[in-house]
Amino acid sequence: MNTKIFCDIADLQSIKKFNKIKIVKGFTTNPSLMRKAGARDYKNYSKEILKICKNKPISFEVFADDKKSMIEQGKKINTWGKNVYVKVPVVNSRNIFTGQVIKELNKSDIKLNITAVYSYKQTKKILKVINKKTKVIISIFAGRAGDTGKDPIPEFKKSIKLAKKFMNVEILWASVREPYNYLQAKQLGCHIITIPPPIIKKIQKFGKSFDQLTQETVKAFLIDSKKSNFKI
């Protein structure tokens, strides 16, 4: 499986930089990343991003919490560009499945990224309300699951198996914690993994031998000890 790398970021300067990197095939954002990047006007800020990212797929998330408003926001976001995926959480803040929102947007031929998914049961519910034509990404949060002591791998395996019946569906590994997650995603057969910039930088260094890593580590220790003027 050739797992595509997306960059999980909303900062304009970082998007400019990573948009030029060959291995980065798309971008994902969310309201928290937008806030962190200093966005004050969601629509205008998103359009600034789209001036940079013109061709690669990019996800912008709805932030409404009720069905009607989520659908309205989703339809508006969809008009921003042909490369835009509308990001919809699998449930709202009251833990109500957003199936009706997903179904309505999906039947309107709007590309979707269903986010905050943790289990194959949620994947199964999503697949029941979508068609087999319009593109859908299902983002499963591996890192956050692992943070609570739960193994996300079985959920990925079952979700990927279910999604094989849908040529329009891609499973995305979200919530990356370390570079090795990329190799795990590839081994599992995930279509996409979305990664924050610092970890993409580390992935670009893949292929170094243990001897090279040993030497680099020792050199770093030596440099820091000299900078600190350590003596015994």
CB 37 within 8 A of CB 12: yes
**Spatial distance between the Cα atoms of 189 and 55, rounded to a whole number of angstroms:** 25
CB 123 within 8 A of CB 138: yes
Here the contacts of 145-150 (C-beta below 8 Å, separation 24 or greater) are 145/118, 145/175, 146/177
pLDDT, position 83? 98
For CA atoms 90, 92, 94, 100, give the dihedral sign.
Answer: negative
pLDDT, position 11? 97
> At which residue do the structure tokens 């629509």 appear?
43
pLDDT, position 207? 87
Contacting residues for 140 by C-beta, under 8 A, at least 6 apart: 117, 118, 123, 152, 155, 156, 159, 171, 172, 173, 174
Q: Which amino acid is at 134?
A: T
Q: Which of 59, 60, 64, 113 is nearest to 90 (CA)?
A: 113
pLDDT, position 169? 98
Q: Using N-to-C axis directions, what is the helix angle for 180-188 and 153-163, rounded to 10°?
A: 40
pLDDT, position 205? 82
Tell me which architecture the domain covering 4-227 has in CATH. Alpha-Beta Barrel (3.20)
**pLDDT digit string (tens) for the chain, length 232 residues:** 799 999 999 999 999 999 999 999 999 999 999 999 999 999 999 999 999 999 999 999 999 999 999 999 999 999 999 999 999 999 999 999 999 999 999 999 999 999 999 999 999 999 999 999 999 999 999 999 999 999 999 999 999 999 999 999 999 999 999 999 999 999 999 999 999 999 999 998 898 899 999 999 999 999 999 999 999 9
Longest Cα separation, the chain: 71
